[in-house]
Amino acid sequence: MANPQEPNAAADVEMSQYLADRARVNEEKIKQDDAIIDQFGEYTYGWHDSDAAGEAAKKGIDEQVVREISADKHEPEWMLDMRLKGYRAFVDMPMPDWGVDLTGFNADDFKYYVKPVGKQAATWEDLPDDIRTTYDRLGIPEAEKSRLVSGVAAQYESEVIYNSIQEDLAAQGVIFVDTDTAVREYPELVRKWFGKVVPPDDNKFGALNTAAWSGGSFVYVPKGVHVDIPLQAYFRINTPNMGQFERTLIIADEGSYVHYVEGCTAPIYSTDSLHAAIVEIVVEKNARVRYTTVQNWSNNVYNLVTQRAYVREGGTMEWVDGNIGSKATMKYPACILAEPYANASTMSLGFAGAGQYQDTGAKMIHLAPHTSSTIVAKSISRGGGRSAYRGLVKIVEGAEGSSSNVVCDALLVDDFSRSDTYPHVDVREDDVSMAHEATVSKVSEDQLFYLMSRGLEEKEAMAMIVRGFVEPISRELPMEYALELNRLVELQMEGSVG
């Protein structure tokens, strides 16, 4: 696999300086941010607007609800069958008895389908005022206007209400629509792959998603097409007790390249919310896909997500995964290296603050010779938060010449937080190379003293150490996400010194 860090060395310097400058020169901006945070409580995006549709939706799920969702979307028979398979699997499968604590979880507490507007808007101006205000706060139009993103799919509750794609992409044959539209307009492509990478009965919450999914993105990149700038989607949950089940399917045809960026923010509610998404990715021969997530769900959201990629000969899959928010996250981006010379990497960061449990990791399944994988998992725990790395590397018999490299680094900021590592390795072939390295470190008195003796206040010294720790992940993010990640980490760190 190409080393992703080399070409970034110069960018890294600029990035560091940019961050340092931003932290300093933009103090005004930070003050404003802080004022907003004060206004809305600790959570930056913790407002919510009027919600007529959400109040009317009913709670709980049964076969009737599943049929209603499908009928309301005018879906073909095969999709209804798929949903029903998912529903039955969800009912039959037991709750996971490992990972995060799900004893307080009750599927009947959530709403499974909320439809906010009658038709999809074509431009920002078409959006209802309150929804547009919400997106303005998230800064989406600015990002759109400055062309930082090549297409924006903004998911508001269950329907994608706004969707745009730049003309040159469309001219290249790139499809970027919400998944509901894709089912209607590209039935053959969708049917070929939907539920193939993550089957309906894969796991309990994947099954729930299959039964109740709504929205999400569908991306198809034709042979040889390189999408130069990231495709971006922003998700928000607005209705209390609203389960969000977006379903994303990305197909990168032979020799193509695409970077998909997903950001998540949810407003604060007093009752628990559920986010159970599925992301399926197909990487055809010699194609490359990068999927980047920075999730900052508010601290009452269960974030239970299945992400998996199927990688063919010579293909490359890269997951970049930042988990900052949520009450409990279970997420283990997986790659099935199905054909020779397929390769994959997962770079993840989990930040567990007070009351949070980030159970994250990665799975690499080597099914063919000369496949390679890299996992870099970093976690920060503070304020009694708990983070865990849970990983699987499996190399089957006959996958000779394959290699896997796993690095887990945990940073503990105080004495009462917790970090665990559960690496699982299953190798059935002799001719392979396998490395695993795990470290747990504490921010040391000497590190703090060193930086402080150079003029940095304790708070800034601590932030610099933590930023340095997450730097291998943040350097992989697009600039605006790296800034957001650093800002989120800084917000999370507040109150940790004193």
Site of interaction with other proteins (CB under 8 A): 9-10, 12-13, 16-17, 19-21, 24-25, 444-447, 449-458, 460-461, 464-465, 467-472
> CB of residue 294 vs other proteins: minimum separation in angstroms?
18
Closest to other proteins by CB, 167 vs 446, is 446
Contacts of residue 392, defined as CB under 8 A and 6 or more positions apart, other chains included, come to 332, 361, 362, 363, 364, 365, 424, 425, 426
Least Å distance, CB 375 to other proteins, is 18
Of residues 74 and 454, the one with the C-beta less far from other proteins: 454
**Can you tell me which residue has the tokens 């504490």?**
442
Which lies closer to other proteins via its Cβ, residue 229 or residue 448?
448
Q: Which of 362, 467, 351, 350 is nearest to 406 (CA)?
A: 362
Q: Which of residues 137 and 459 has its CB atom nearest to other proteins in the complex?
A: 459
Nearest distance, CB of residue 137 and other proteins, angstroms: 30
Minimum distance between the CB of residue 455 and other proteins, rounded to whole angstroms?
Answer: 3
Minimum distance of other proteins from residue 23's CB (angstroms):
8
We find the least distance from the C-beta atom of residue 30 to other proteins, in angstroms, to be 15
Residue 204 near residue 88, CB atoms below 8 Å: no
Q: How far is the CB of 454 from other proteins (least distance, A)?
A: 4
**CB of 380 vs other proteins, minimal distance in Å:** 12
- Whose Cβ is closer to other proteins: residue 416's or residue 449's? 449
Nearer to other proteins, 109 or 460 (CB): 460
Nearer to other proteins, 242 or 465 (CB): 465
| Residue 107 near residue 87, CB atoms below 8 Å | no
The closest alpha carbon to 18, from 380, 488, 486, 494, belongs to 486
Residue number, 227 or 465, with CB nearest to other proteins: 465
d(C-alpha 438, C-alpha 426), whole Å: 18
